[in-house]
Amino acid sequence: MKTQIRIIGIGRNGCRLLDGMMACGLREELATDAFPAIAEIRYIAVETNIDTLGCSSADVGFYVGGGFSKDSGPEVLERMAAQTRAIVEHVIHGAHLILLLTGLDDPLECVAAAALAELGRAKNILTLSLVSLTPVDVSRSNPAAADLARIEASSDALYVFPADDCAPLGSAGFSPEEAIPTPAGDLINCANVLAKFLCQPHGRRVGFDFQDLRTALIGWDEAFRAYPEQAIQSKHRYLRWVASLDTPPAELAAAAIASLPLKSAATVLMYIEGAPRFSMPHIRNLVAPIVAEAPNNAFIKYFVEVDPGMPEDALAISLYVRTDQPIPVLASHAPFAP
């Protein structure tokens, strides 16, 4: 069962971030992996300007706000929120993760973004919101503050970017590296392994529930405000590689220990996929050294899936680590020849 991810851009800046994320080629990267993709991604644009919507390259586009005005009163805007929820609800059905991208520079966009965050929470979908804000302190002086509070209350994590980070998306010939801050890609990579726990019944049987998912990703009460690219990159690490079952487990464990900040880990999640001849000794010899390296009070979970469709000598390992302290930048992959 693939993890279902919906990446939704709302409004002008949100759709710019969405275009930048598409330019990064995450879906194409997953599709060209050595084995079937672990996630299915759909890009969705939600716009209050029909002309802007027509320029989007998203898989699905929705025009909302027809007949509504930016100067409409609260009751009218609430009707628009209900319209937004009704239009988008079927697209997020069955999703395990929603990544919400928006800027809060238009009252209609604010209402739409808050409505979608609330819809995700109501459906118990892991909802991560990335919001680009102007330099003005919106929490004090901007009318969008109430909508930002609604988004934060309904999101499992809120990441706020300076609005300038969207600027390169409006220029011709931008590169994927400029298109979106690095942490957005890191966030999706981390969320992939987290969402896999959520969507697997076995994950629940080992005691991994929705609140654990939030705790594992962002800690208890943490929210990255300004410059999240530094905070996310300095506290979160995701590692995925494909190896051969004939590779000594101790060698694989050593590679993980060398590549990840396990000694300072607050959370360690391991998702291991193996061919049918994958055995318990493989698990024990791979997991035990990694667990031993982490602190005694770390939140540690691992899940093993035997996939009959994998080549008979294949092993795929996904590792996610979160620390409470900033850590140096490390390599994101530790490749082994299958």
| pLDDT of residue 88 exceeding 70 | yes
Domain residue spans of the chain:
3-180, 237-323
Higher pLDDT, 57 or 200: 57
Span 84-90, average pLDDT: 83
pLDDT, tens only, 94-116:
887 788 888 776 777 778 888 88
- Report whether CATH 2.30.40.10 matches the domain 237-323: no
Q: Which residues, in sequence order, are bridge partners of residue 272?
A: 304, 317
For CA atoms 174, 49, 93, 301, the dihedral sign is: positive
Taking all residues of the chain, what is their mean pLDDT, rounded to a whole number? 69
Longest pairwise C-alpha distance within the chain: 66
Two domains, one topology: 3-180 and 237-323: no
pLDDT, tens only, 250-261:
888 898 888 888
Span 45-72, average pLDDT: 76
With bands split at pLDDT 50, 70 and 90, how would you rate the model's confidence at 229? very low
pTM of the entire predicted model: 0.58
Q: Do residues 17 and 9 make contact, with C-beta atoms less than 8 angstroms apart?
A: yes
Fold classified for 3-180: Rossmann fold (3.40.50)
Q: Do residues 97 and 190 make contact, with C-beta atoms less than 8 angstroms apart?
A: no
| pLDDT of residue 298 exceeding 80 | yes
Take residue 24 and report the two structure tokens written for it.
Answer: 């990064």
With bands split at pLDDT 50, 70 and 90, how would you rate the model's confidence at 159? low
